[in-house]
Amino acid sequence: MKIKRLKDYNILIVDDDPYIIKSITRVLKDAKFKNIFSCKKGPLVIDIINAEEKIDILISDLKMPDFDGIQLIRYLSDTHNYISLLIISGESEHVLQAAENIAVERNINLLGTLQKPIQSTKLLALIKSNKKLLRVQQSSHLGSSIEADFIECIQHKALSVFYQPQIDIKTGKIIGVEALARWHHKKIGVIPPSIFIPLAERLQLINELTDQITNKVLREFPFFLIELPWLTISINYSIDCLIDLDLPEKLEVKLKENNLYARQIVIEITESLITESLIAADLATILDILSRLRLKGFGLSIDDFGTGFSTMEQVSRIPFTELKIDQSFVHGAEQNMIKKAILESSIDLAKRIGMRTVAEGVENSADLEIVKHLECDVAQGFYYAKPVSFEELRAWIVKKNNLVVI
């Protein structure tokens, strides 16, 4: 299926201020976008969205008469959640953050939020970030075939593993890597985990997927240890995998087969999934497995910290060794007092109970400076390196550490 070029996106601007519409239109035209539509009244948006010309990106103000931005988010969620949304507003950061939270909870493809006056560079950067989202949206048009393709991928053990370095903030030394599953679809290209992990869970293939990724990681990881013997590796586990009471013993067997030790492995579990699953699943079984993994020496990381609703309760229940702060609270925290407050309180909480802190989403020097100032332990993000293949990471390690490979 053909992927749209950036300049061919259909973009709709919704704002009751004609000057805002005019200025954003000018920025988009200068950036070579051709298909730009506009609307000054919220209720008219519905007619434009429902027209034959399909809207790809919607740039909308929050505060509008008759039909505000929050109502628009609700409408998109119910009828057109394939549209990517960029929220603009003159309201406070707190209001923008609330709107962002609503969009995320309603499964909107949210590109981001911008305060007025709009900075053209930030606007264009957010729109360009939509390329991957459109690819995923188009994959949905393949219908049930994408499920069949995924089943075939699992059957042929065709998932790839990419790795992203984790850097000690004080020393600048690489101390760990996170293993990340990747699916290279033959027609669409790379499909992110945010799409195929829920698919695996729905098809009850998540255990097989996790087992395949774990096996690949444990085979490849010893080669990193040749250059960096102190390295640890983090592997993501779905809560759905924590139903097998023999899991700790099975992982021990895999480690022995690859001459590895439990202390070198960190099991990452997403905090929001913990919150949901501890309500619906067998709490005793989940706590049993996680506690026994810890007793055997595995590290336990609470991933995407701050995105769930019962955070403090889960930290007190489960013997976590590491707290990974979600990238939504790290990137841009220097300019956002709400993000900064959450970031600071998360790091302080971890320090008080003896947990290591990892900041995800460190994308620039400003992000690094704020996590360094708040005395976070470890940074992970595009500022250092994007997730790369096994071969690329080994080359990166050699170059960064001035090593000679024999």
**Segment of 21-25, 52-56, 77-81 carrying the highest mean pLDDT:** 21-25
Q: What is the mean pLDDT of the chain?
A: 84
State the average pLDDT over residues 55-73: 85
Give residue 2's pLDDT band: very low, low, confident or very high (50, 70, 90): very low
- Number of H helices and number of E strands within the chain? 16, 14
Phi, psi of 211 (to 5 degrees): -65, -40
Q: Tell me the pLDDT band of 186, cut-offs 50, 70 and 90.
A: confident
Alpha helices in 80-110, H assignment, sequence order? 93-105
- Whose tokens are 């990452």? That residue is 268
Residue 352 scores a pLDDT above 80: yes
Which of the four pLDDT bands, split at 50, 70 and 90, describes residue 370? Answer: very high
pLDDT tier, 78 (very low <50, low <70, confident <90, very high otherwise): confident
pLDDT-based confidence at 143, cuts 50/70/90?
A: low
What is the C-alpha to C-alpha distance for residues 406 and 403, in angstroms, rounded to an integer?
Answer: 10
Residue of 340, 217, 330 lying closest to 268 (CA atoms): 217
Of residues 336 and 375, the one with the higher pLDDT is 375
Does residue 160 surpass a pLDDT of 90? yes
In whole angstroms, give the CA distance from residue 130 to residue 123. 12
Which tens digit of pLDDT belongs to each residue from 29-39?
988 888 898 88
User: Cα–Cα distance between 192 and 198 in angstroms, integer?
Assistant: 11
Residue partners of 322: CB distance under 8 A and separation at least 6: 266, 299, 300, 301, 302, 355, 356, 357, 358
- Say yes or no to pLDDT of 144 above 60: no
Q: What is the pTM of this model?
A: 0.75
The DSSP code sequence of 316-332 is HHS--SEEEEPGGGTTT
pLDDT band at 1 (very low <50, low <70, confident <90, very high): very low
Classify residue 78 by burial, with Cβ atoms within 10 Å: 0-12, 13-18, 19+. Answer: exposed
Residue-wise pLDDT tens digits, 246-259: 999 999 999 999 99
Between β-strands 232-236 and 378-380, what pairing exists: parallel, antiparallel or unpaired? unpaired
Encode pLDDT of 276-316 as tens digits.
545 445 677 888 899 999 999 999 998 867 554 445 666 77
- pLDDT(405) > 50: no
For residue 117, is the peptide bond before it cis, meaning its omega torsion is within 30 degrees of 0?
Answer: yes
Question: Does residue 45 surpass a pLDDT of 70?
Answer: yes
User: Which among 345, 356, 320 has a CA at the least distance from the CA of 167?
Assistant: 356
Eight-state DSSP code of residue 388: B
Q: Where are the domains of the chain?
A: 6-137, 143-400
- Residue 92: pLDDT band by 50, 70, 90 thresholds? confident
Q: What is the mean pLDDT of residues 173-194?
A: 88
Give residue 309's pLDDT.
46
pLDDT at 115 over 80: yes
Mean pLDDT calculated for residue range 9-35? 89
User: Please, are residues 130 and 56 in contact by the beta-carbon 8 Å criterion?
Assistant: yes
The listed CATH number (3.90.1150.10, 3.20.20.140, 3.40.50.300, 3.20.20.450) that belongs to domain 143-400: 3.20.20.450
CATH architecture, range 6-137:
3-Layer(aba) Sandwich (3.40)
**Of 7-11, 85-89, 365-369, 371-375, the least confident:** 7-11
